[in-house]
Amino acid sequence: MTVSTVAPATVEGGVGTSARRPDGILKVAGEFAYSSDLWADEMLWGATVRSPHPSAEIRAIDITAAVALPGVYAVLTAADVPGARHYGLEVVDQPVLAIDEVRYEGEPVAIVAADHPETARRAAARITVEYAVRAPVTDPEDALSRGDLVRHVPVRRFASAGGTALTADVVVTGTYEVGMQDQAFLGPESGLAVPAEDGGIDLFVATQWLHVDQKQVAACLGLPAEKVRLSLAGVGGAFGAREDLSMQVHASLLALHTGKPVKMVYGREESFFGHVHRHPARLSYEHGATRDGKLLYVKARIVLDGGAYTSSTPAVVANAATLGVGPYDVPTVVVEAYGVYTNNPPCGAMRGFGAVQACFAYESQMDKLAAEVGLDPVELRRRNAMTTGSVMPTGQLVHGPAPVADLLALVRDRPLPPAATGDPRERPGGVANTTRGEGVVRGVGYAIGIKNVCFSEGFDDFATARVRLSVVGGEPAVLVHTAAAEVGQGLVTVQAQIARTELGVTKVTVATADTSVGSAGSSSASRQTYMTGGAVRAACQAVKATVLARVGRAGELALVDGKVVASDGAVVASLVDLLGNDVVEETVEWRHKPTRPLDPVTGQGDAHVQYAFAAHRAVVDVDTELGLVRVVEIATAQDVGKAVNPQAVVGQIQGGTAQGLGLAVMEEVQVVDGVIRNPSFTDYLIPTILDMPPMAVDVLEMGDPDAPYGLRGVGEPPTISSTPAVVAAIRAATGRPLTRVPVRPEHIAL
Amino acid sequence: MAINQSTAPAETGLRGPRGEPVTLDVNGATYAIELEPRVSLLDALRDHLDMTGTKKGCDQGTCGACTVWMDGRRVLSCLTLAYSCEGHQIATIEGIAQDGELHPMQQAFIDHDAFQCGYCTPGQIMSAIALLREGNATTDADIAEHMSGNICRCQAYPNIHAAIREVRDADDGG
Amino acid sequence: MEFLQPADWAEALAVKAAHPDALPIAGGTDVMVDLNFDRARPGALLDLTRVTDLTDWGTDGDWLRVGAGVTYRRLIDELAGRVPGLALASRTVGSPQIRNRGTVGGNLGSASPAGDAHPALLAAGALVELASVRGTRRVPVTEYFTGPKRSVRTPDELIAAFLVPARPGAEQFAKVGTRNAMVIAVCSFALSLDAATRTVGTGIGSAGPTPLRATEAEAFLAAELPWETRGAVPESVAARFGELVGSAARPIDDVRGSADYRRHALAVLARRALAWAWTDPGGAV
């Protein structure tokens, strides 16, 4: 790892160190309690009846046979929902249980609780639903022409006032498609709802945002929020798929109805129907440039298929629109982005969130333009690279570092990997013995992407942290409590690191996230280290101020190694003496600088908080006759502002990159006429260790003055540009246009 | 929409489909439980023996999260009939640490940050230790081929490689 | 559901005769998926893991007889030199964990058109040994498959073993998947060239309702190969052979690939496998 500006790590286990995960021992020992591992006395098991049709009217539901099955405690339908019968992240439009109609395959219709999971499944199978099947709307363009619009975001910016004609010496056009990707977290949706004595519910669940779940669950149960208490259970991956509710309301309903704890665990197939996916997209682009490759304009039309319900489609559309030309200076931009309703599976958040689809298109266009003007693809990108002080298509000035040209140079200047050896495992096809070198051509491709960090468009984005300092067992100890969801990204590690650095105390415990403390916002939008990290830092600083005030002495004081230290290094007091039996606790609600909504006509506005960038270079070997691909190596460079935990940062970059690789060559939920054809890991393929190439990672630390420690969100950027880089490399090897991802063997070979 | 619902509560008392007695040897201890014949070793471990360290990711042999050892060989507990395990020694992630000491592979996974969410980790570790025992870890290509049955969706693969290499090299040295 | 666990082969056959609806299970790597997903709810399970006769292999005259319960791992470790094509195929089956349990007997029992072992067995001219209390019969694998997941096995029969010629020809196996490991075949192809008898065997997987032979391609190649001189295979012969293999397939469009692609890929695999088998009679890599 290359680090350009290294701040000395002054505190052991503090900010800037690769502190170990506090939950690591439990995870390697098999003792970490994931949401599917929970158990309670007298516990019942829930199961869900789902629609087999993408669109149908419900004529009748007969639950008699299910209720009659021994061991069944409850069978509930929409009529049994005591509160709001719909929920939703941004728009409340998704039924808890289908009301009179179903709008996508897999939509929940009824739920069952029984004393054994097998009994619950069998009972569910005995529920008869009479459907009047309707022709589903599955083509997004059809949906658009019918007016089934979730949101239209235009972004219009012109080089000169009053608009200009879109003309240029060099014009390249292209239409691109992105298939539906699944987050495919390994630990399926699950949780345990326990009825409480006060008539409320205690819900233990794997989620990305406890408080947004709480709000929706409480509304549906008809309970005040304080009677719906959520605790974070172990999360087996998220990647956006746990932003929307899955089993939360269902298990709670069953628990309240039966008076018993109810556990629900989705199987893998059900999981494909139990959460939203990445929006499939169709993107038409026109790039105009001078003969020496300077961009003059970009015109784009982006249509994202939101599926049956709104979910987070409005924000995904805004991202695709505002980030739609990539990290380039473009004088004139006309982007029209649409999200539509269809009877396809609902789509919402997945790592990269609208930026992924756009990046595949604009980076494919940049390669096309480079070929057209006879420039090296990296050189073309560098000539158009945005920098600090650039203006986004939204009119927003980019204040912070924007090292786009530097990132491209870093991946370009990495030495190329050697040719494959004779080992079959280094060839396309691996041990399947498809080639001994016949037809194999190497290709190299580049891409760079841009992502917004934190919530945008004027959203009141905040995080809450409670920090308590006291003496425990004769030494100072800190307890950090937030509602922020650790989903594997290492947030609990980072929270403890920040507390150690700010308070000079080694012994830090991070409490289980729950709703007894204020909201932390979602573990999404690459925002949690920024936001909850910022809140923990602010709370620590408040604790520190309170403690130092007790010293009653002017001048600069610091907390180091459990002591109050003066600026000359003299120890003024020990925390143990200063605190005695007292507890100092502060709770802080922390906000990033405000953002503004987008103008609904021009798409102008300071909508985003921070921009993050990553570049990739992919090297592939392609069996051009069979269309099989082996990614040989990926080099990547990313600016993270400040690597709060360098090891975790690199892990995020590697993981995100590999998920982008998956989208490039294998991952797609295949939907035909609204029906998912491959809801299993047999046919929804995720990269194995044999598919993941060695990676060269450059990490830049160019601090953002507005962000805590100068950090920049890390999680999403690597997922964005790795897909177009891999596809560019395959194009370089094959000469095929490859306008759709995932690239399938027949796209290359036929 | 018409809803038919009988109001009488269902007959209770049955704990699912009927079971038959079976004896399982897991991590050196013997357990007598009752199971329906169709139950997988995975469900027996998780739902009947309260050993939830072994994870269910797909229930059809395509993710590797449920990897355990049967007589020292790694197998998928979701595709192994619990009944057919009678008389065989089963080892799970819960039995890997000895006297509170993590196995070197467990420690290497922590040191190399070879997981993020950790859901696949028990299966990865069961495979990784077996891999070394099988002698299939000489090169990175060997490791990749013989770890390819364990999906990590966080894609911590580079770090899994590093952890296995470290334990392999320590074994060679010692 | 009953659980039947015979201690030996005779008892297994008796049990199967008494419970023809019992679902035989050995490694479980195929059967368990249906059980876990509630797609199969047989009246009884017939666990064959105690029947040690099934895990033996040995020669039987001019044949190598391999018990139905020999795992893929053992085929790779113990028999790679005797069943080179099948060993190549075994290495592509599922994952190491699955190869530790899964068996060719199970593959034959399921009779899926995508079974990785089938093309290699077809190419090698294998026999399937079926047994019941009525007696034992050996069925050429070319006649074994009757439809998708259907075979000539009668309800009272169990798969005892498969047999391949004790002296294998030059064998190859290649499989196309959209991932570099742990993948079900988009299509697969196996080839056996027997210089002694100047015969050609082929097997096609995942490109038809059953595993298939490319009989026309076999006859063409047997006639055209320069057996005498061992000279290079003319390019036109290799190309024609590939075409004939491709046209012998009866593929459909599905989630794993299109019919056109499968035909194309089979032609490519056939050409390549021919080149490897002809120049490197030793077979397996």
The string of pLDDT tens digits covering residues B117-169 is: 999 999 999 999 999 999 999 999 999 999 999 999 999 999 999 999 999 99
Residue C86 confidence (pLDDT): 98
**How far, rounded to the nearest angstrom, does the alpha carbon of residue B151 sit from its chain's CA centroid?**
13
Domain membership of residue C105 (yes or no) is: yes
Residue B40: its chain C contacts at CB < 8 A?
Answer: 32, 35-36
The reply to whether residue B74 touches residue C100, judged by beta carbons under 8 angstroms, is yes
Tell me whether residue B9 is in a domain.
Answer: no
What is the C-alpha to C-alpha distance for residues C280 and C225, in angstroms, rounded to an integer? 15
Whether C52 contacts chain B with CB within 8 A: no
Asked whether residue B13 is domain-assigned, the answer is no
Place of tokens 């319900």: A309
Domain that holds residue C183: 170-279
Interface test with A, best of C91, C179, C187 (most A CBs within 10 A): C179
A167 touches chain C (CB under 8 A): no
Tokens 């992240």 correspond to what residue?
A89
Confidence of residue C281 (pLDDT cuts 50, 70, 90): low
Residue of C nearest to A125 (CA): C38
**How far is C-alpha A544 from the geometric centre of its chain's CA atoms?**
34
Question: Do C264 and C240 share a structural domain?
Answer: yes
Residue C169 has pLDDT above 90, yes or no: yes
Three-state secondary-structure class, residue A434: coil
Q: Do C159 and C183 belong together in one domain?
A: no
Share of chain C above pLDDT 70, in %: 98
Q: Mean pLDDT per segment of 10 residues, for chain A of length 750 residues?
A: 43 95 98 98 97 98 97 98 97 98 98 96 97 98 98 95 81 98 98 98 98 98 98 98 98 98 98 98 98 98 98 98 98 98 98 98 98 98 98 97 98 96 92 96 98 98 98 97 98 98 97 98 98 98 95 85 92 95 98 97 98 98 98 98 98 98 98 98 97 97 97 97 98 98 98
In a domain, C128, yes or no: yes
Hey, how many other C-beta atoms are within 10 angstroms of the C-beta on C196?
9
The DSSP string of A485-547 is: PPSSS-HHHHHHHHHHHHH--SEEEEPPPBTTS-----S-TT-HHHHHHHHHHHHHHHHHHHH
Omega cis (within 30) before A742: yes
Residue B133 and residue B77 share a domain: no
Statement to judge: residues B91 and B108 lie in one domain: no
Same domain, C255 and C177: yes
A693 to chain C, any CB pair closer than 8 A? The answer is no
Contact state of B20 with C3 under an 8 Å Cβ cutoff: yes
Could you tell me the pLDDT band of residue B7, with boundaries at 50, 70 and 90? Answer: very low
C47·B83 Cβ contact <8 A: yes
Which letter, b or e, does each residue of A274-310 get, where b requires 16 or more Cβ atoms within 10 Å of its Cβ?
bbbbbbbbbbebbbbbeeebbbbbbbbbbbbbbbbbb
Same domain, C243 and C123: no
User: What phi-psi label fits residue A352: left (phi over 0), alpha (psi between -120 and 50 degrees) or beta?
Assistant: left
Of all residues in chain C, the one with the smallest CA distance to B56 is C36
Domain assignment present for C150 = yes
pLDDT, tens only, C245-269 = 999 999 999 999 999 999 999 999 9
Nearest Cβ partner for B64 among C28, C45, C97:
C97
Do C242 and C224 share a domain, yes or no?
yes
Query: What is the token pair recorded at A143?
Result: 């949906």
Question: Both C199 and C68 in a single domain?
Answer: no
Closest Cβ–Cβ partner in C177, C256, C275 for A432: C177
Which chain B residue lies closest to A493 (C-alpha atoms)? B116
Last residue of a domain, one of C147, C165, C183: C165
pLDDT score, position B3: 44
ipTM (interface predicted TM): 0.96
C109 and C196 in a single domain? The answer is: no
Cβ-defined contact of A434 to C272 (cutoff 8 Å): yes
**CATH code, domain with B90:** 3.10.20.30
Q: Is A682 on the interface with C (CB under 8 A)?
A: yes
Q: How far apart are the first and last CA of chain A?
A: 41
Contacts of A62 in chain B (CB under 8 A): 4
On whether both B29 and B49 belong to a single domain, the answer is: yes
Q: How far is A565 from chain B (nearest CA, A)?
A: 33
- Looking at residue A337, its pLDDT comes to 98
Distance CA C189, CA C173 (A): 6
Identify the structural domains of chain A with CATH numbers, from first to last.
Answer: 24-32+462-591 (3.30.365.10), 35-135+205-213+242-265 (3.90.1170.50), 281-456+598-749 (3.30.365.10)
What are φ and ψ of residue A517, in 5° steps? -125, 160
Of all residues in chain B, the one with the smallest CA distance to A238 is B117
pLDDT range class, residue B19, cuts 50, 70, 90: confident
> Residue B48: is its pLDDT beyond 70?
yes
Neighbour subunits, B (≥3 Cβ pairs < 8 A): A, C
C50, closest residue in chain B (CA to CA)? B84
Is B150 found in the same domain as B129?
yes
The domain tally of chain C equals 2
CA terminus-to-terminus distance, chain C: 45
| C41 interfaces chain A, CB cutoff of 8 Å | no
C contacts of B62 (beta carbons < 8 Å): 182
B38 and B81 together in one domain: yes
- Same domain assignment for residues B91 and B116: no
Contacts of A425 in chain B (CB under 8 A): 141, 144-145
Domain membership of residue B135 (yes or no) is: yes
Measured between alpha carbons, how far is A86 from A624 in angstroms, rounded to an integer? 50
Q: Which of B61, B95, B129 is the last residue of a domain?
A: B95
Integer Cα distance of A40 and A208 in angstroms: 23
Measured between alpha carbons, how far is C70 from C51 in angstroms, rounded to an integer? Answer: 11
CATH number at residue B161: 1.10.150.120
Chain C contacts of B60, Cβ < 8 Å?
A: 32-33, 36-37
Domain boundary (B36, B60, B95) is at B95
- The chain B residue lying nearest A76, using CA atoms, is B5
Cβ contact B37–C37 (<8 Å): no
User: Mean pLDDT of all residues in chain C?
Assistant: 96
Pair of tokens at residue B96: 């890997």
**8-state DSSP, A58:** E
Q: Which of C112, C142, C165 is the last residue of a domain?
A: C165
Residue C14 and residue C125 in one domain: yes
Domain co-membership, C23 together with C154: yes
Q: Give the C window 80-109 contacts with A, CB below 8 Å.
A: 88, 91-92
CB contact under 8 A, C47 and B149: no
Mutation target among C91, C180, C206 for the A interface, most CBs of A within 10 A:
C180
Which of C109, C131, C165 corresponds to the end of one domain? C165
Residue B164 structural domain: 104-173
CB-nearest to A436 from C175, C268, C276 is C276
User: What is the predicted pLDDT for the residue at C282?
Assistant: 57
Per the structure, the count of domains in chain B is: 2
From the list C88, C183, C255, which residue is nearest A433 (CB)? Answer: C88
For residue B120, being part of any structural domain is answered with yes
Contact state of B60 with C5 under an 8 Å Cβ cutoff: no
> What are the structure tokens assigned to A11, written together?
């505190």
Same domain, C36 and C74: yes
Q: Does A744 touch chain C (CB under 8 A)?
A: yes
C1 assigned to some structural domain? no
Among B65, B95, B125, the domain boundary falls at B95
Spatial separation of the C-alpha atoms in residues C82 and C86, rounded to whole Å = 9
Does B173 score more than 80 pLDDT?
no
The reply to whether C139 and C33 lie within a common domain is yes
Q: Which chain C residues are within 8 Å of A433, Cβ to Cβ?
A: 88, 92, 172-175, 285
Averaged pLDDT for residues C48-57: 96
Same domain for C25 and C121? yes
Could you tell me how many CB contacts below 8 A there are between chain B and chain C?
Answer: 89
- Check whether residue B31 and residue B91 sit in a common domain: yes
Q: How far apart are CA C248 and CA C265, in angstroms?
A: 13
pLDDT score recorded for residue B172: 59
Q: Pick the residue from chain B with its C-alpha nearest to C49.
A: B84
Q: Which residues of B touch C2 (CB under 8 A)?
A: 37
Dist CA A516 CA A464 (whole Å): 11
Whole-model pTM above 0.95?
yes
Specify the DSSP element, H or E, that contains A60: strand A56-62
Mind telling me how many Å the CA of C250 is from chain A's nearest CA? 17
The pLDDT score that the predictor gives to residue C38 is 87
Segment 433-452 of chain A within 8 Å of chain C by CB: 433-436, 438-439
C37 contacts on A by Cβ (under 8 Å): 267, 269
* Domain CATH for C78: 3.30.465.10
Q: B110 and A24 in contact by Cβ < 8 A? A: yes
